[in-house]
Amino acid sequence: MKTRPFKQVDVFTDLPYFGNPLAVVLDGSGLDDEAMQRFARWTNLSETTFVLPPTDPAADYRVRIFTPGGELPFAGHPTLGSCHAWLQAGGTPRRQDFIVQECQVGLVNIRRDPSTGSGQDGDRLAFAAPPLQRSAPSPAVLAQVAAALGLKAQHILAAQLLDNGPVWLGLLLDSADTVLQLAPDHVTLKKHGLKVGVIGPHPARTAPVLIARANREARAFAGSMPASAAESATADFEVRGFAAPIGIEEDPVTGSLNASLAQWLIAEGHAPERYVAAQGTCLGRAGRVYLTRETDMSGSAQATSTGSGQVWVGGPSVTCINGTVTL
């Protein structure tokens, strides 16, 4: 065992303790898989990451991502949070335009998000969504998952299996209120072995996203938020991510899920090319994810291997714990 630099970061929020926490061990050298998994179970956070020297010369650093139940090839909030922690610890990117992270899905470009509303460069990072594979779920699986969520057929506008490393069953629902009122049967969802992400539109961008008429937790949270957060608590969509198969009943804010939802919904015309998603409301969080499909100078979507244009997934991060850990 040795003493290693450590940070606990809150991701997709600029208010500490209102986003999705991430444990970051900034020196994972010499740790085997069992030691990493044991520490990830101990932190009991949705993800714990270990920063390592890159094996690809094009990368600035390498990261391994663990949930309490296993290792992930890619995840969004650990990508942004690890990058934030690496930069804060003195990491220097090789390039001026991108930070390049190596993980099991390959190289992921991260940039300082030019759409940040604060005007302070570097407050918000954004990662380039990995290529997405998607397909239609079987009607039988869709019916079983809908029953576990308490959804009727008229609530589901569209459904897709989404794979950008993690695999999610994505459901577009009729409204944000429907999303907020869900009371899932997590035991049944775990038996099906599928992570499920749901998204529904708010009636207008200026609608307060923390008002959920049938959700006591959301109502209580709305009354306890700082005024500064309540003033900016607007979003276009509400998202929830249920991941019982990997030991997480509901994830506070999920970058990989929001990435794949954006790639799907923008490509199909269900969402604009730039929007804000709220997530974590029912858990007392105020996560905000900034989604953008990039366009070229002529205004057309930049082509990628999927033909859908590069989607960027952004959000701020704040460090809540800064110290060392013995591992």
pLDDT digits over 141-197, tens only?
999 999 999 999 999 999 999 998 889 999 999 999 999 999 999 999 999 899 999
CA dist., res. 82 & res. 86, Å (int):
6
How sure is the predictor about 295, in pLDDT bands with cuts at 50, 70 and 90?
A: confident
- Fold equal for 3-128+317-326 and 133-302: yes
Percent of the chain with pLDDT over 70: 83
Q: Give domain 3-128+317-326's CATH number out of 3.90.180.10, 3.30.360.10, 3.40.1110.10, 3.10.310.10.
A: 3.10.310.10
CA dist., res. 142 & res. 135, Å (int):
13
Question: Is the Cα torsion angle 266, 269, 275, 277 positive or negative in sign?
Answer: negative
Is the Cβ–Cβ distance between 287 and 95 less than 8 Å?
Answer: no
How sure is the predictor about 227, in pLDDT bands with cuts at 50, 70 and 90?
A: very low
pLDDT of residue 116: 53
> How much is the pTM?
0.85
pLDDT of residue 18: 95
Indicate if the pLDDT at residue 304 is higher than 60: no
Catalytic positions, written as ranges? 47
Q: Mean pLDDT throughout 57-83?
A: 94
Indicate if the pLDDT at residue 216 is higher than 80: no
Burial class (CB within 10 angstroms; exposed 0-12, middle 13-18, buried 19+) of 190: middle
Indicate if the pLDDT at residue 306 is higher than 70: no
- The least confident of 48-57, 110-119, 177-186, 188-197 is 110-119
Q: Mean pLDDT throughout 256-264?
A: 96
Q: Mean pLDDT throughout 108-123?
A: 63
133-302: CATH architecture: Roll (3.10)
| CB burial string 146-167: b at 16+ within 10 A, e below | bebbebeeebbeebbbbebbbe
Helices (H) and strands (E) counted in the chain, each on its own, are 8, 17
pLDDT of residue 303: 38
Domain boundaries along the sequence of the chain:
3-128+317-326, 133-302
pLDDT of residue 69: 85
Q: Mean pLDDT throughout 20-43?
A: 97
